[in-house]
Amino acid sequence: MRAIQPKMAKPANLIIQVTVILTMCWPSSSAQAVGAIPPSTLCIPRERDALLVFKAGLTDPDNLLSSWQGQDCCQWGGVQCSNPTGHVVKLDSYSLIGVGADQPMGTIGGEVSSALLELRHLEELTLAENNLTGSLPDQMGLLSNLTVIDFNNNRLSGEIPSSIGALTKLTDLRLGFNNFNGTITESHFGKLANLRYLELSGNSVAMVFQESWVAPFKLQVADLKSCRLGPKFPRWLRSQDSIITLDISNASIADSIPEWFWTTFSRTRNLVLTTNKIISMLPTKLFQEMEAETVDLGDNLLVGPIPKLPRKLKSLDLSRNNLSGPLPSDIGAPLLTTLILFKNSLSGTIPHYFCHLENLVFVDLSANQLHGEFPVCEEQLEADGSTSNGNNSSYIIMLNLNSNRLSGELPIFLRKCQNLTFLDLGYNQFSGMLPTWIEEKLPSLSFLSLRSNLFYGHIPQQLTQMKSLQYLDLACNNMSGTIPQSLADFIAMAVAPRRDGPLSDIVGYDNAIGDADVVSYTDSSLVVMKGQQLEFTHGIMYMVNFDLSCNSLTGHIPQEIGKLPALKNLNLSWNHLSGVIPDNIGEVHSLESLDLSHNEFGGEIPGSIAVHHWST
């Protein structure tokens, strides 16, 4: 049988088919166009050698640079090359950490080698969030193509090279939170007409310019926290009317705010001038007309009243000033989430508009001279005040009214605060009996201080049902009756608080102002411990406290007290407690302070107390 021969394609058709197939498979990138350098030889040898010299001066305990071997440096992690030329254009340590990876930032150490100056085509140099030391190369200005320099959050020191001022393409200069020192002058910014993002926060640098100097750039972000800009208010900022975020906090400014400030920054979204010595009044009209969402002028020497707020304002911190007069009759900021006004001389009553600020999350009016009763928000409650659902629910997490002269019963407003975590009404003139609704209506409460008021009556059993409560201070009231037997139901006092526990939201939200809608609340809370009044700041989130001192309580200490092993402070002094001290009280292993003095106990001191390892 004759074998069947396959049909042969015509040569012309074959050529066309092969051409089509190759055209479909060949990348369209200009780097791979005819005549381009093949992928295996993209890396420029001298630039590869420069990267290897740079690597040799680094420590890399987590082997993040393990891919830095072989001939083609364009395939190394954190290195990006130009497709057409093969030159290194980007060095980015962020890309070495995959999304969701376990390795923390800050593992690459060592010094920044001047070998990097060989990367003359480099456009982005991002080595932030590491452990780099030493100084930056003096001739950084030779990298004339740089658009981004980011060494934020390292341990670099020395002076910032003035040669950076020659980088005409630079848009982002981020050197914040290092150990740089020295003086920054006009020469550092001489040709930086394209600069938009300037971050120098957390360094010991002084910014000294001629008073007539006009900056060549129009910044969008100026993050200059802890740089020395003062004592005079920095005049060069007058031309920076495109700024979205301005942080000149702790900048050694001891001056008044010039009138041009309010017009130049009328469209600025975030303004932070805290911790200076600024002596000014807030201008009524100009302040109200601002478009700011966040204003932090805390810890200054501001005087006068608080005017109506900017309409778009979400966060306001005017704490630790000398402001006086009543709170504004019309607050003017319906989107307000954070209102921090503690340690001023504000007087008058709390206005009724607090009932309508539905977005409020953090409120601190402590250490003022406010008086009268908290407004009754009757239109937001049922006739019996029991509703807290739907639109009537409040988002508030923290309410601090400590150290005022407020009076009346526990505010009915609280009945709609299901999310409330921190409540401090201490050192006021509140009165009445503690309500039985407190457990049902405040299920999220972790911190409750009613110290030094005029509350009376029995401690309601419902109080012990508050599963999240780790800090309870009812000291110095007129409470009577016995201590509830159900102390073991204080579940949060039986387990050591977590770092990410509920109170971490109160004391741990010190976020960068450009990335957050809130300002930080870091002021202290007072705890009577070891016979003295101590101040706790961030440590309050770990404090487990039970203080019923200075009341008229009677009866025995319940045995259940031993089932609260996470307690750090137990103060039952100055009552009329009797009987014997429970032997298991010494088994509260976390206890640092125990005060049972000025009571009517009998019997012997339990041996468990004698052998307890007390902290000093």
Is 577 a member of any domain? yes
Other beta carbons within 10 Å of 498: 11
What is the reported pLDDT for 383? Answer: 43
pLDDT digits (tens, 9 = 90+) for 324-339: 999 998 899 999 999 9
Give the pLDDT mean for 107-124: 96
Indicate if the pLDDT at residue 363 is higher than 90.
yes
pTM of the shown model: 0.87
pLDDT digits (tens, 9 = 90+) for 434-485: 999 999 999 999 999 999 999 999 999 999 999 999 999 999 999 999 999 9
Give the pLDDT mean for 362-386: 78
- State the CATH number of the domain containing residue 587: 3.80.10.10
User: What whole-number distance in Å separates Cα of residue 271 and Cα of residue 269?
Assistant: 7
Counting the structural domains of the chain, the total is 1
Is 547 a member of any domain? yes
What is the reported pLDDT for 33? Answer: 30
Is 281 a member of any domain? no
What is the reported pLDDT for 578? Answer: 96
Give the pLDDT mean for 515-525: 40
Indicate if the pLDDT at residue 49 is higher than 90.
yes
What is the reported pLDDT for 512? Answer: 31
Indicate if the pLDDT at residue 156 is higher than 50.
yes
Least confident of 145-154, 244-253, 379-388: 379-388
Burial class of residue 382 in the structure, from the number of CB atoms within 10 Å of its CB (0-12 exposed, 13-18 middle, 19+ buried): exposed
Is 96 a member of any domain? no
Type and span of the H or E element at 429: strand 429-433
Is 460 a member of any domain? no
Give the domain extent around 592.
513-610
User: What whole-number distance in Å separates Cα of residue 122 and Cα of residue 585?
Assistant: 67
Q: Which two tokens stand for residue 343?
A: 């340690």
User: What whole-number distance in Å separates Cα of residue 402 and Cα of residue 540?
Assistant: 16
CA distances from 505 to 42, 400, 419, 566, 580 (A): 50, 14, 12, 20, 40
Is 75 a member of any domain? no
User: What whole-number distance in Å separates Cα of residue 434 and Cα of residue 455?
Assistant: 7
Type and span of the H or E element at 20: helix 11-25
**Cis peptide preceding 283, ω within 30 of 0:** no
Burial class of residue 13 in the structure, from the number of CB atoms within 10 Å of its CB (0-12 exposed, 13-18 middle, 19+ buried): exposed
What is the reported pLDDT for 481? Answer: 97
Indicate if the pLDDT at residue 141 is higher than 80.
yes
What is the reported pLDDT for 586? Answer: 81
Is 364 a member of any domain? no
Q: How confident is the model at residue 500 (pLDDT cuts 50, 70, 90)?
A: confident
pLDDT digits (tens, 9 = 90+) for 197-252: 999 999 999 999 999 999 999 999 999 999 999 999 999 999 999 999 999 999 99
Beta carbons within 8 Å of 189's beta carbon, 6+ residues apart? 165, 195, 215, 216, 217
Is 233 a member of any domain? no
What is the reported pLDDT for 614? Answer: 59
Indicate if the pLDDT at residue 99 is higher than 60.
no
What is the reported pLDDT for 387? Answer: 45
Work out the mean pLDDT of the chain and round it to a whole number.
86
User: What whole-number distance in Å separates Cα of residue 384 and Cα of residue 23?
Assistant: 79
